[in-house]
Structure 1
Amino acid sequence: MYERILIPTDGSTGTAHVALQAIDLAEQYGATIHALHVVDETVEGLATDAGDQLRQRGQQAVDQVERMAEAHGVATVTVVEEGDPAETIVAYAEAEDVDLIVAGTHGRSGVRRRLIGSVAERLVRRAPCPVMTVRLPETDVTVSDADAAGDIASEALADDGIDAAVTGVERQQSVWIVEATADDERYLVYVDPVTRRTSVIDQGSEE
């Protein structure tokens, strides 16, 4: 049903939740995620250092979507372009024959929030494919409790062929740390609370 799913992103707080909606669909249908950031051509100073910072911020936004998709085994294309946001997104969707656009309903606070809301409305009216709009929450955190972190860690261990039991979960500043054991072996699994990416560390045998 879907082969190419487009996520327009500005890196706003909460866009990780939008990305996860698209990634879940991509997993189901074997689709490729296209993460697109558009640097608004009407912003003053695009030819200055400030413009370079905007492009760098845009690259960081699409890179975050790519990291999330990679953690779920989903192929990703990342693109940063300049232009009118809505027009550029529509043109990209047409050129790449996109099957679905998944977009947040607002972006950064104040004027920026109203701008992104307007972009989403224009996409719904003009896009050449269906548009799924997702209301952005006030946080980027997608793994908000210990049970969810433990489940993700268990899946990561199982993917490595390890049938382990979770024995403890602790939230530190920027990561969940999950302890697990299997056949007298101890493991630590680090779970990124935004991207859900995991790292499994074998700590050796229990003494």
Structure 2
Amino acid sequence: MNYFENQKLLAPYDFSKFSQSAIDTAMKIAGKNENVTVLHVVDPSPLYGYSGDMGMELGAGRVLDLPNVDLAAEIDADHQAQALKMLHGELGDARHHGLNYDTIVDEPAHGIAAYAESNEFDLIVLPSHGRTGFKRLLIGSTAERVVRLAHCPVMVLRL
């Protein structure tokens, strides 16, 4: 038996092979799939005309107009519903039976940490790098921020 068996584990999922490995690891650690929640965070910044690293994106040498907030909220909700449907589609086989799924709209690192805290998770399991690849030499920027922000232990998998 391990310390986190029968504890609540959170496995963020960005549809990359790396995050799939993190889900597999979380399932092994948890002892049963019902103790694992797979979370996809819909990052709204591209939807609002912002890039993750540069602030407002520039188009043809000018600052892009701010989108209609109501329209952006609809887009966020649509992305969230689509992501949840995709989660069930990709992880709908018998091996993943019993997993819990959720999506939120937030900046990924802050969203993961806040979700884990508000839902009282005991461990976050995530890969060192996600779908953006090797942005940092040793650890991905999202994983690094989750480690700093999280209220609970974080297991960062070197993949």
Residue type at the aligned position of 2:135 = R
Q: Report the 3-state secondary structure (helix = DSSP H, G, I; strand = E; otherwise coil) of the residue aligned with 2:135.
A: helix
* Higher normalized contact order (CA 8 Å, seq sep 6+, divided by chain length): 2
Sequence identity (%): 34
Structure with the largest fraction of strand = 1
Q: Report the 3-state secondary structure (helix = DSSP H, G, I; strand = E; otherwise coil) of the residue aligned with 1:59.
A: helix
Answer whether contact 2:13 2:20 (CA < 8 A) is retained: no
Q: Distance in 1 between matches of 2:73 and 2:29?
A: 39
TM-score between the two structures when normalised by the length of structure 1: 0.52
Deviation at 1:51, TM superposition (A): 5.0
Aligned residues: 131
TM-score between the two structures when normalised by the length of structure 2: 0.66
* Runs of 4+, deviation exceeding 6 Å: none
Q: Report the 3-state secondary structure (helix = DSSP H, G, I; strand = E; otherwise coil) of the residue aligned with 2:11.
A: strand
Q: Report the 3-state secondary structure (helix = DSSP H, G, I; strand = E; otherwise coil) of the residue aligned with 1:24.
A: helix
1:21-100 equivalences under 5 Å are 21-27=25-31, 32-44=35-47, 47=72, 54-55=79-80, 58-60=83-85, 62-63=87-88, 66-67=91-92, 71=95, 75-100=98-123
**Aligned equivalent of 1:173:** none
Deviation at 1:109, TM superposition (A): 3.7
**Aligned equivalent of 2:131:** 108
Q: Which structure 1 residue ranges, 5 or more long, are not aligned?
A: 137-207
**Aligned equivalent of 1:154:** none
Larger Rg: 1
Residue type at the aligned position of 2:88 = D
Change (3 A) 1:57 1:11: farther
Kindly report the root-mean-square deviation, in angstroms, between the aligned alpha carbons of the 2 structures.
3.1
